[in-house]
């Protein structure tokens, strides 16, 4: 009997890629999404890739009656919780929205997991929990600094909630994956990053600019304390990230967890600057990226990249794809959107 996994936010960028990888490994996937930052056609795209159409329910996790009916009607072996608002800049402008959506959705989920005795939760966390760390690379033991944005703060609070809840709820185990910067798309180019409105992240802004949908890419600041003055991030291919979720669920279902609450950095361990990403995109795709340097953006940190030793050894996972792979697949995906 296939294990049944609930994906909240499963039609989103990372959720859809994770759905594909889970189904590849023989899991049955049920998706909940309110489609506020994704499209229903993603379900059909997943079916085209994998030959199986995941069950889909459209509602907001803050809608408790709809969520409870889902729990009543289904037996879940595990849950991967992606559903959240995720734009750093928007969170600075709309903090109440971010605290409402990101925290109340998790609280509703945890209450029903307790009520219906669902034991395994993988949480979509973020490297933003570290704030601007004083030392690099970041290990899982790096203490949380003051969050630079409400978005980052919701991830810190989310992890605190899981830490405290698993201590008192003996049947619940949770695992947080602290993503660095997911980019790229599935090699089929049937799913990829599809931001609603103006992209908040670098790579879709690059691809939309080169596709002629934006006049210029904005590089937010070139006076940071980095080799070329632009901010540095640890970029990871979304397919590698999706596979980390499969390993996380396997770890829980196989009773491999050593503590009721665990957390892992998911990145490549290498930092790349904004200009390095632009140059990689230009080189691998034989094109130019028009850009202009503008003022720094509120909420952004200077540089961060991961120490992935714990994930490599404990989770038995390692990133396989490089920056060129990311840029090539991102452009292939963008071209399918404009063809």
Q: Which residues are catalytic?
A: 151
- 172 close to 114: Cβ distance less than 8 angstroms: yes
Distance between CA 78 and CA 58 in Å, rounded? 19
Helices (H) and strands (E) in the chain, counts: 11, 13
Reduced to 3 states (helix: H, G, I; strand: E, B; else coil), residue 137 is coil
Beta strand segments in 170-324, E: 173-179, 181-183, 217-220, 232-233, 235-237, 261-266, 272-273, 291-294
Reduced to 3 states (helix: H, G, I; strand: E, B; else coil), residue 124 is strand
Burial class of residue 222, CB neighbours in 10 A (0-12, 13-18, 19+): middle
Distance between CA 126 and CA 112 in Å, rounded? 24
For residue 336, which phi and psi values (nearest 5 degrees)? -70, -25
Quickly list H helices, the chain.
13-24, 41-50, 64-73, 88-93, 95-115, 150-168, 202-210, 238-253, 274-285, 309-313, 323-338
- 131 close to 148: Cβ distance less than 8 angstroms: yes
Whether the CA torsion 165, 171, 172, 175 is positive or negative: it is: positive
Give strand pairing partners of 264: 177
Nearest to residue 16, comparing CAs of 61, 80, 78, 60? 80
Residues 6 or more apart in contact with residue 314 via CB below 8 angstroms: 258, 262, 264
């Amino acid at each position: 009997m296939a294990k049944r996994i609930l994906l909240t936010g499963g039609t989103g960028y990372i959720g859809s890629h994770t759905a594909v990888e889970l189904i590849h490994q023989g899991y049955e996937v049920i998706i909940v999404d309110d489609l506020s930052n994704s499209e229903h056609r993603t379900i059909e795209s997943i079916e085209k890739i994998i030959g199986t159409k995941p069950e889909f329910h459209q509602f907001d996790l803050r809608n408790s009656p709809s969520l409870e009916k889902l729990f009543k009607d289904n037996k879940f072996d595990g849950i991967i919780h992606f559903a959240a608002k995720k734009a750093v800049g928007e969170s600075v402008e709309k903090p109440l929205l971010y605290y409402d959506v990101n925290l109340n959705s998790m609280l509703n989920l945890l209450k029903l997991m307790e009520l219906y005795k669902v034991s395994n939760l993988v949480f979509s966390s973020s490297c933003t929990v570290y704030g601007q760390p004083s030392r690099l690379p970041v290990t899982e033991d790096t203490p949380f600094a003051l969050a630079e944005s409400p978005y980052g703060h919701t991830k810190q609070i989310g992890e605190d909630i899981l830490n405290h809840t698993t201590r008192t709820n003996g049947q619940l185990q949770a695992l947080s994956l602290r993503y660095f910067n997911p980019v790229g798309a599935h090699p089929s180019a049937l799913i990829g990053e599809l931001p609603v409105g103006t992209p908040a992240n670098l790579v879709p802004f690059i691809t939309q600019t080169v596709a002629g949908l934006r006049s210029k890419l904005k590089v937010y600041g070139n006076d940071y304390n980095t080799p070329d003055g632009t901010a540095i991030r640890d970029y990871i291919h979304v397919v590698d990230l999706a596979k980390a979720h499969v390993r996380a669920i396997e770890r829980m279902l196989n009773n491999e967890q050593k503590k009721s609450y665990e957390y892992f950095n998911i990145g490549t361990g290498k930092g790349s600057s904004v200009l390095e990403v632009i140059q990689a995109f230009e080189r691998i795709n034989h094109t130019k990226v028009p850009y202009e340097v503008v003022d720094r953006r509120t909420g952004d940190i200077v540089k961060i990249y991961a120490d992935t030793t714990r994930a490599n050894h404990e989770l038995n996972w390692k990133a396989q794809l490089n920056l060129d792979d990311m840029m090539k697949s991102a452009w292939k995906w963008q071209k399918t959107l404009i063809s």
